[in-house]
Chain A
């Protein structure tokens, strides 16, 4: 018996590729107005982060003293701040820093969390006990408080903000992944793989991880939105990222003493934070609907 060459009809039966899955996901997201809105907002901010320097009419620290404290106009869409910097340009240019910081932080947190979640869920026993109780004690502290404590020890810089995000969100991701692993582990196909002499690594990556993806992608999107929130909050509190960076939280902090004088300098960066957080959250909700998972962890900002 030889294998017949694959006919086109068989090719259609084959599991869809990643690229096709992504385009299917996008089409589904745009089929409902709410998730379409979320996706659009997120994509717009991503564009701003990538092409910011091409869009922004002024530099981020380009000071024009003669035009300080201008209200929004056709020249300065979002007005200018106390020093005469163009708020619109700073909001656009700030997108890159905040999205890269929170994006990278989320990415590493998801990688670490997935690793811990897979191992603790699959192996169980004392390793699971010790890891999860440690994570529980981290989770017992409010995220912002934990972040402030950590920043106090590692010092103020972009990198420390990154580390803080990873430490704060790894336990949450790990818990979500672990809960999925616990439901998949007793299923017949995992036991069949064990009886087939597969290594633990193979089982975790090939048999279990595919079932974790839906919950993990929803959780990642959520963590991303909360990471943005966290970076903004830390900027506002004046820890982590330092002036003259166009961090939105920092911009709000700088404009706050003059709130009655130049409310636009305070409003627009604050609005940017809210908008991107709302956008990513709506996107996550849409993904949850499509991927058919329930949010397994409680939201935590």
Chain B
């Protein structure tokens, strides 16, 4: 993809744009004096954490701000067209034809009551004035272009009948079919699984290569940016802080914020035993409360007096800009916001491996019966059930961390909830400290409950919005630990300190806390009863990267201090690889592979793990990986594939044997890694060697 130089090739030209929202008579600036220019054929990444103003910028470009928001100053030109001068009628001509959008959530963007083909036909007819027949023909053509299998059949389906990844492909077809000048992609893969994301990213890359469309790609994921964008603009607290070609930005970031952001991503191969994640201290200021001068100075490790004045956007080399007074010092390597690599988290006191495991799960099976319909009953069909977890066994030694990785629908959360007693198992056994756990929560006594705690995924629902932090934390101290009121009060303050929150937070309500702070309180609540085992279910998946790193470090440190066993559930291999001592990869309710973190990236891999590893977008533009594409969709757990559950999508499918016989557990000799596959390990190793060389050494 060639970048057209200056001037005439410009598709979108934003000059000094300021967007503000009116709140209680005051104008709060969400975008402050941002300029950027997108050339034809260029993919321009816009990166920022939540609250950085990137969504407001996109809405301003679309001229689609809410009523309370307005463009206070600046210019936006689309080619020769002055977007700010258009009235509503003219805007309607622009939308969908010259500017198109692929939103984060295709489910809400597609009309649930129309077949997807019809929605595509409507777009084509409305914008290109085609006849019905011509539009129908082109619609199927476009569905084929976005690589949907059997486009004719998909066209006749309703959005709920196809998967999220397929819906997003339909949205991309809709956005590209009118040959727009500007395509805005707003976090298009954030809600998708990593293997699906890889397919969509490939598609976007290939389709836009030929066209002269300018692309604004909005995301918080630096890995995605590195993989698909030509240029990147980084936004922080309403301001554009750095603007550079992707290659340059990643190899030499010239703004401390960008440095911090890149540093805080856990890389594959990092583990808590060899490195501590480098996090940015503090958190992004809410809109309207950014500090004066440089907006980043309160969190910046290299801030000096001059930072009290607002830095201009310094040109820092050919077509790259940094809004930092000290960019040249950074450039010459005199200062660095790279924190000196912190020491690894000290090894927790792990008792001898000869000890009994904390948690022992054997052949755990959990099925959810579906309601039997009258027609089932009449035709004497047996009632069907969702087979969420199918015969999973593992052990967790005291003071260790077990990581469970899997995509959505793999059953990882069900395993956690069953251990906690929130769901009931069908068969198998769960033993805590050698004592079988009763299925029902109501059958477990307070002592058992005290030993087992959980941190939930969604910070918005984790704490009761009507209770203060103090009330939330005090309760388990009194109820489970049996402390008196005054003891609970002082222990509560200690807990807040342990999760690095000031004692003044005790009187606050959850609504006054950020997502990261709420997860800290949730961790403190889990710690309150001094449990033996804590299950963390995707505790950081809804947090920004820089906050994610702080929470992961905190979890690692707390475990080192207290020696609590952890079960960590995530869809992110890099995170689990960082925190866990042992990793289980789950697919459709069955374990595919059990491995240590050091061997996670060593062959042999289970073919599914291999596909997962290859699909992670690397935050390094010089390594464009070749993700392995998994065919088809994840099978319905009501109707499990026979034999190996992965055989329907396996790129290394052997034949008959995979479809009919359950594979054996094979143990690799050097690493002790266990793999659930028919293919001999030596054979797997041999064919996977290349990928390891490509991907294992990534720490920079």
Q: Chain A residues in contact with chain B, CB under 8 A?
A: 1-4, 6-7, 9-11, 13-15, 187-189, 191-198, 206-207, 210-211
Q: Which of B206-214, B505-513, B567-575 binds A? A: B505-513
Judge whether B464 and A210 touch: CB under 8 Å: yes
Complex A-B: 17 CB contacts under 8 Å: A1-B490, A1-B493, A1-B497, A2-B490, A10-B504, A10-B506, A13-B512, A187-B461, A188-B462, A188-B522, A191-B422, A191-B454, A192-B454, A195-B449, A198-B475, A198-B479, A210-B467
Q: Map CB proximity to A onto B435-476 as digits: 1 under 8 Å, 0 otherwise.
A: 000000100001001101110111001111111100010011
B462 touches A3 (CB 8 A): no
Contact B493 A3 (CB under 8 A): yes
The 3 A-B pairs of least Cβ separation, nearest first, read: A188-B456, A210-B466, A187-B461
* CB-CB under 8 A for A197 and B497, given A4-B503, A188-B461, A188-B462: no
In the bound complex, CA of A229 to CA of B479 (Å): 48
Residues on A with C-beta less than 8 A from B512 are: 13
The interface bits of chain B over 190-201 (1 if a CB of A lies within 8 angstroms of the residue's CB, else 0) are: 000000000000
Which residues of B come within 8 Å of A, CB atoms? 420-422, 441, 446, 449-450, 452-454, 456-458, 461-468, 472, 475-476, 479-480, 489-490, 493-494, 497, 503-504, 506-509, 512, 522, 525, 529
Q: What residue in chain A is nearest B505 (Cβ atoms)?
A: A13
Given A3-B489, A189-B464, A207-B464, verify A10-B507 contact (CB < 8 Å): yes
In the bound complex, what is the Cα–Cα distance between A198 and B444 (angstroms)?
A: 12
Closest B residue to A2 using CB positions: B490
CB < 8 Å neighbour of B466 from A195, A196, A211: A211
Separation of A11 and B504 alpha carbons in the complex (Å): 10
Chain A binding surface, main DSSP class: helix
CA distance A7 to B504 in the complex (A): 9
Q: How far is the CA of A285 from the CA of B522 in the complex (A)?
A: 36
Known: A4-B493, A195-B420. 19 other contacts (CB 8 A): A1-B494, A3-B489, A7-B504, A10-B507, A11-B507, A13-B504, A15-B466, A189-B463, A189-B472, A191-B454, A192-B525, A194-B422, A195-B422, A195-B449, A196-B476, A196-B480, A197-B449, A197-B450, A206-B467
Q: B453, B465, B507: which contacts A14 (Cβ < 8 A)? A: B507
Closest B-chain residue to A213, C-beta based?
Answer: B466
A195-B453 contact in complex given A1-B490, A11-B507, A189-B461, C-beta closer than 8 Å:
yes
Closest partner residue, chain A, to B448 (CB atom) = A197
In the complex, chain B residues whose CB is within 8 Å of the CB of A196:
449, 475-476, 479-480, 529
- Expressed in whole angstroms, the Cα–Cα distance for A155 and B173 within the complex equals 71
> What A residues does B504 contact at CB under 8 A?
7, 9-10, 13
Output the least CB separation between B595 and chain A (Å). 30
Evaluate contact between A3 and B490: CB separation under 8 angstroms. yes
Compute how far the CA of A211 lies from the CA of B510 in the bound complex, rounded to whole angstroms.
Answer: 14
Q: Which residue of A lies closest to B446 (CB)?
A: A197
Which residues of the partner chain B approach A198 to less than 8 Å between Cβ atoms?
475, 479
CB distance from B49 to the nearest CB of A (A): 23
Cβ–Cβ < 8 Å partners of B453 in chain A = 195
Contact B493 A191 (CB under 8 A): no
Docked pose: A210 CA to B479 CA in angstroms? 20
Partner of A13, one of B421, B441, B465, B508: B508
Bound Cα distance from A19 to B240, whole angstroms: 46
Nearest A-chain residue to B535, judged by Cβ? A195
Across the interface, which residues of A come within 8 angstroms of B479, CB to CB?
A: 196-198
A189–B463 Cα distance when bound, in Å, is 5
Asked if B449 and A189 sit within 8 Å, CB to CB, the answer is no
CB-nearest residue of chain B to A14: B507
Specify which chain A residues have a CB less than 8 angstroms from the CB of B497 in the assembled complex.
1
Cβ distance A24 to chain B, nearest Cβ, rounded Å: 15
Chain A residues positioned under 8 Å from B506 (CB to CB): 10
Give the complex CA separation of A11 and B458 in angstroms.
Answer: 29
Using known A-B contacts A1-B490, A13-B512, A192-B525, determine if residue A197 contacts B465 with beta carbons closer than 8 Å: no
Chain A, residue nearest B417 (CB) = A191
- In-complex Cβ contact of B454 among A3, A195, A210 (8 A): A195
A21 to chain B, nearest CB (A): 11
Q: How far is the CA of A195 from the CA of B522 in the complex (A)?
A: 13
Chain A nearest Cβ from B179, distance in angstroms: 42
- Rounded to whole angstroms, the CA-CA distance of A4 and B494 in the bound complex is 12
Contacts of B461 in A (CB 8 A): 187-189
Docked CA distance A191–B507 (Å): 23
A194–B441 CB distance below 8 A: yes
CA distance A3 to B504 in the complex (A): 11
Residues of B within 8 A of A3 (CB): 489-490, 493, 503
Closest chain B CB from A124 CB (angstroms): 14
Chain B residue nearest to A10 in the complex (CB): B507
Q: How far is the CB of B439 from chain A (nearest CB, A)?
A: 14
Q: Which of B420, B463, B509, B522 contacts A15 (CB 8 A)?
A: B509
A13 to B507, Cβ gap below 8 A?
yes
Chain A residues, CB < 8 A from B449: 195-197
Chain A residues closer than 8 Å to B450, beta-carbon distance: 197
- Quote the shortest CB–CB distance from B451 to chain A (angstroms): 11
CB distance A189 to B462 under 8 Å? yes
Q: Min CB distance, B265 to chain A, in Å?
A: 27
Chain A: minimal CB distance from B442 (Å): 9
Please name all residues of chain B whose beta carbon is closer than 8 Å to the beta carbon of A7 when the two chains form the complex: 504
Residue contact A192 to B462, C-beta cutoff 8 Å: yes
B508 contacts which chain A residues (CB < 8 A)? 13
In the bound complex, residues from chain A placing their C-beta under 8 Å from that of B489 are 3
Of A3, A7, A195, chain B has the most CB atoms within 10 Å of the CB of A195
Task: Report which residue of B458, B464, B512, B522 has the largest number of chain A beta carbons within 10 angstroms of its beta carbon.
Answer: B464
Q: Please give the distance in Å from A6's CB to the nearest CB on chain B.
A: 8
Closest to A187 in B: B461
Q: CA of A3 to CA of B490 in the docked complex: distance in angstroms?
A: 6
Across-interface contacts of A192 in B (CB, < 8 A): 454, 456, 462, 522, 525
| Min distance, Cβ A189 to any Cβ of chain B, angstroms | 4
A7 to B458, CA, bound (A): 32
Per the bound structure, the CA–CA distance linking A188 and B458 in Å amounts to: 7
What's the nearest-Cβ distance from chain A to residue B177, in Å? 38
**With the chains together, A198 CA to B475 CA distance in Å?**
9
Q: Which residues of B sit under 8 angstroms from A2, Cβ to Cβ?
A: 490
Nearest-neighbor residue (CB-CB) of A210 within chain B: B466
Provide the residues of chain B in CB contact with A207, threshold 8 Å.
464
A94 to B503, CA, bound (A): 56
Give the docked Cα–Cα distance between A10 and B505 (Å). 8
Of the candidates B452, B468, B472, the one whose C-beta lies within 8 Å of that of A195 is: B452
Name the B residues within 8 Å of A193 (CB-CB).
464, 475
User: Could you say which residues of chain B place their CB within 8 Å of the CB of A197?
Assistant: 446, 449-450, 479-480
Which A-chain residue is minimally distant from B504 (CB atoms)?
Answer: A10
Q: Within 8 Å CB of B490, what residues of A?
A: 1-3
CB closest residue in chain A, given B468: A15
Q: Which residues of chain B come closer than 8 Å to A15, judged between CB atoms? A: 466, 468, 507, 509
CB distance from A288 to the nearest CB of B (A): 19
B462/A211 in contact, CB under 8 A? no
CA of A14 to CA of B450, assembled, Å = 29
Query: Smallest CB–CB gap between A42 and chain B, Å?
Result: 27
Report Cα–Cα, A249/B537, bound state, in Å: 60
Q: Which residues of A contact B475 (CB under 8 A)?
A: 193, 196, 198
Q: Within the assembled complex, what's the spacing in Å between the Cα atoms of A195 and B475?
A: 12
CB nearest to A194 among chain B residues: B441
Task: Give the complex CA separation of A7 and B525 in angstroms.
Answer: 24
Complex interface: chain A residues within 8 A of B509 (CB):
15
Give chain B residues whose Cβ lies under 8 Å from the Cβ of A191: 422, 454, 456
